[in-house]
Structure 1
């Protein structure tokens, strides 16, 4: 699926299971059995994060 901004989201089905594996345009990954849960994560996930590998610098806990 390509979002209106040109970002690519990918959902793969893991053969032999009921598991879906999603990859966001930033490289973050998520697994779920429920397709609705997966799409909700995909559509909500890009809000407020940097692409994979670009951790914000600041205070550490």
Structure 2
């Protein structure tokens, strides 16, 4: 299943989830946490947020 993930960055989480569901796998939630940065600031810009939104919307079937 991992070979079918085509996205990079944070998008891979949604891509992997959607591929698993599509292939009939059972999906369970296991919380993860991301540590706050001690130095520096967030690297995500508006483009990453828009890419993520576009991925989710492209996979929804209305």
Shorter-normalised TM range: under 0.3
Higher strand share: 1
Q: Normalising by the residue count of structure 2, what TM-score does the alignment of the two structures yield? A: 0.27
Higher helix share: 2
Larger relative contact order (Cα-Cα within 8 Å, sequence gap ≥ 6): 2
